[in-house]
Amino acid sequence: MHGSVVDLHLHSTASDGLLTPSGLVKVVHDAGVEMMALTDHDTVDGLTEAQRRANEKGMVFINGVEVSVTWQGKTLHVVGLNINPEHPSLRNGLADNRQRRMERAGRIARKLEKAGIPGALQGAKEHAGDKVIARPHFARFLVDTGVVKDPQEAFKRYLTRNKPAYVATQWAELEDAVGWIRDAGGVAVLAHAIRYKLTGAWMRRVLAAFKEAGGQGIEVVCGSYTATEINTSVGYALRYDLLGSVGSDFHGPSPMGRGPGRFPVLPEGITPVWNVFAF
């Protein structure tokens, strides 16, 4: 596996990552990455600290965010890159999504309680701190209490669709999320499209709607993609004339996931999304 010197999808403790923004930048830099974006779920909280550290290390730092979206009942993730994190419509939109996260967290906890597991809201909040609350915080609580042996098992048994503590959530509209990102001067990138497990027909509908909304890029290489999945994504980028992004979706050291920059470089023939960033 060749390392990539660009990694535009990374998480910190501002959302569901395990490393602080500073800790993350150190690990990313040590991995040989020269250009990074911090893309926490529905928050820009970690950007100032990460940017400062990245600049100290001589890295190129891109302000990013990963926005949760609901489109036709399906949850999609849209990464905004090179955003102005101060832009009011983006800030308001992200605050709305965070409010939905808080409401969902209460409902997840009540469902866990019904399943015989009390104390989940408090327990998840201990992991989330005063930052964005996400399902991995519940997964870590379930590991703490010994209900499951690892976070993957928590997702598999409790937290995913059709499981006892799953809560369907109406996130931001696709058109709105792409609009905020563009208002904030950023580029909207469809994250990890293969992970949605959509049929070909649904994937084409998503891509058409994303384009129509003003989306300009797609993650062609993700940390966990196989060679076949990268090929499929190259096809989407070419067919829908989208810029290509690359990112690990690193959430912190884990026996499962790959580290920052641990993925193949962007295939030839795809225009890199970073070509359009103004530095």
Q: Can you read off the two tokens belonging to residue 78?
A: 């849209």
User: Which residue in the shown chain puts its C-beta closest to ligand AMP?
Assistant: 134
In angstroms, what is the minimal distance from the CB of 166 to ligand AMP?
Answer: 10
Residue among 7, 16, 40, 219 that touches ligand AMP (CB under 6 A): 16
To Mn ion, the closest distance from the beta carbon of 114 in angstroms equals 25
- Under 8 Å between Cβ of 88 and 185: no
Which partner, Mn ion, ligand AMP, none, binds residue 29 by CB below 5 to 8 Å per kind? none
* Cα torsion 160, 92, 174, 228: sign: negative
Q: Quick check: helix, strand or coil at residue 12?
A: coil
Residue 135 interacting with ligand AMP (CB under 6 A): yes
Among 187, 251, 261, 274, binds ligand AMP (CB under 6 A): 251
Binding site for Mn ion (CB under 5 A): 16, 66, 77, 191, 249
What distance in Å separates the CA atoms of residue 97 and residue 73, rounded to the nearest whole number?
16
Q: Would you say 78 and 189 are in contact if contact means Cβ atoms under 8 Å apart?
A: yes
Interacting partner of 151 out of Mn ion, ligand AMP, none (Cβ under 5 to 8 A depending on kind): ligand AMP
Cα 223 to chain center, whole Å? 12
Kindly determine how many residues on this chain lie close enough to bind ligand AMP according to the rule CB under 6 A. 11
Min dist. Cβ of residue 80 to Mn ion (A): 12
The site partner of 219 among Mn ion, ligand AMP, none (C-beta below 5 to 8 Å per kind) is none
**64 touches ligand AMP (CB under 6 A):** no
CB 263 within 8 A of CB 4: yes
* Contact present, 38 and 249 (Cβ < 8 Å): no
* Secondary structure class of 74 (helix, strand, coil): strand
Rounded CA-CA distance 119/125 in Å is 10
Please report, as residue ranges, which positions from 153 to 172 form the binding site for ligand AMP (by CB under 6 A).
155, 160
Extended strands (E) in the chain: 6-7, 35-38, 60-71, 74-81, 172-173, 187-190, 217-222, 243-247
Q: Is 97 in the site for ligand AMP (CB under 6 A)?
A: no
Does the footprint of ligand AMP cover residue 136 (CB under 6 A)?
yes
> Given the rule CB under 6 A, which residues bind ligand AMP?
16, 41, 68, 134-136, 151-152, 155, 160, 251
